[in-house]
Copies of this chain bind each other. A is one copy, B any other.
Amino acid sequence: MVIRDLTLAGLNKEQLLNLHYTMLLMRHFEEKAAEGYTLGKIGGFLHLYTGQEAVGSGVNLALEPNDVVISSYREHGHALAKGVDPNALMAELYGRASGVSKGRGGSMHIFSKEHKLFGGYAIVAAQLPIACGYALSAKLLKENFVTVVYFGDGAVDEGAFHEALNLATVWQLPVVFVCENNLYSMGMAVERAWAVSSLEPRAKAYAMDFEQVNGMNALDVFQAAQKAVKRARETSRPTLIEAKTYRFRGHSMADPTAYRSKEEAEQWRQTSDPIVLFENALREAGIANTEDFKKNDDRALQIAAKAVEFADSSPLPDLQSLTEDIMVDPTGAIAWRRPR
């Protein structure tokens, strides 16, 4: 047996190392973003994906380029996995004209038409109904894309979650709902917000298919997503995936994390780092070694550093863009006056 034919979860070495790289890119990108925030280069709210990398990278591996991803304000990782240019992403965080959203959106409002990363929404759970609309387009326009929507455990509490899941089953929409249950919304522990310990009974309440996965294991995530995406694509049926994970940092850079102990967070970092776990798995399977990992790490770090350079040297948006793109129709602006 030749080494390079070894696979894990049906993935070959190249694919597996790509997955590894994606997670590292997310990790380094977020570290650079944190630095940018500390330096005052990034303003507003900044929510990092650190610790949750296995979810976004694992799900994404189950997607075709044509599939749609919709997310919350914690979407940098999802965007990177979907192929969004780290330079344009960092530039958006820096509020520059070269940002994916022309600097008008910022960290919470990433959108890339090219990569079908269709936003970055900052009203908790609002993205779930929106995703139903995308899935409805896929169904009615007979476009064969699947819509994946990410949200947190807190989003589950909103009425929008209930309304969207119900619509998705009643209308049989090709959508995959991915709940990244990182145990907290802001400071609210999930066990104080839910009377149930898993989302499984919630899925049953809508007669929806359900997958529970360890969100720290990228391959588990990948395999659950594969099933869900196949179900959506082939039978136009929705799935709810619950990925148990943990955010290594605070809710946002402004979070003093008073609601959880340092020990708890440290314990997660020590025992459940999704990148370390994945490296161990690859190593144990004899598929890749420390050298491979180092290469990926260097490359990811370099790309993240270059993104900072790019962002920092990009110009601010033109002041006139302040009132551009509000509407397609320029006479739609209220101050429109009749041509004389």
A contact set with B: CB distance below 8 Å: 157-163, 166, 169-170, 192-196, 201-202, 204-208
Can you sample 30 A-B contacts with CB below 8 Å? A157-B166, A159-B159, A159-B160, A159-B161, A159-B162, A159-B163, A161-B162, A162-B162, A162-B163, A166-B193, A166-B195, A169-B195, A170-B192, A170-B193, A170-B194, A170-B195, A195-B207, A195-B208, A196-B204, A196-B205, A196-B206, A196-B207, A201-B201, A201-B204, A201-B205, A201-B207, A202-B205, A204-B204, A204-B205, A205-B205
Which residues in B have their C-beta under 8 angstroms from that of A206?
195-196
Closest to A202 in B: B205
Q: Are A163 and B170 in contact (CB under 8 A)?
A: no
Taking the nearest CB of chain B, how far is it from the CB of A297, in angstroms? 43
Which residues in B have their C-beta under 8 angstroms from that of A205?
196, 201-202, 204-205
Q: Is the interface of A mostly helix, strand, loop or mixed?
A: helix
Closest to A172 in B: B195
Choose among A161, A169, A195 the residue with the greatest number of B CB atoms under 10 Å from its CB. A195
Q: Once the chains are docked, how many angstroms separate the CA of A196 from the CA of B205? A: 7
For the complex with contacts A159-B161, A162-B163, A169-B195, 4 further pairs of A-B residues with Cβ separation under 8 Å are A166-B195, A201-B204, A201-B205, A202-B205
Q: Once the chains are docked, how many angstroms separate the CA of A192 from the CA of B172? A: 12
Taking the nearest CB of chain B, how far is it from the CB of A156, in angstroms? 9
Which residues in B have their C-beta under 8 angstroms from that of A170?
192-195
Taking the nearest CB of chain B, how far is it from the CB of A281, in angstroms? 34
Q: Once the chains are docked, how many angstroms separate the CA of A195 from the CA of B207? A: 6
Q: Once the chains are docked, how many angstroms separate the CA of A170 from the CA of B194? A: 6
Closest to A159 in B: B159
Taking the nearest CB of chain B, how far is it from the CB of A330, in angstroms? 36
Which residues in B have their C-beta under 8 angstroms from that of A163?
157-159, 162
Q: Once the chains are docked, how many angstroms separate the CA of A192 from the CA of B162? A: 16
Q: Once the chains are docked, how many angstroms separate the CA of A192 from the CA of B167? A: 10
Which residues in B have their C-beta under 8 angstroms from that of A162?
159, 161-163
Closest to A207 in B: B195
Closest to A166 in B: B157
Taking the nearest CB of chain B, how far is it from the CB of A131, in angstroms? 16
Which residues in B have their C-beta under 8 angstroms from that of A208?
195
Which residues in B have their C-beta under 8 angstroms from that of A194?
166, 170
Q: Once the chains are docked, how many angstroms separate the CA of A194 from the CA of B161? A: 15
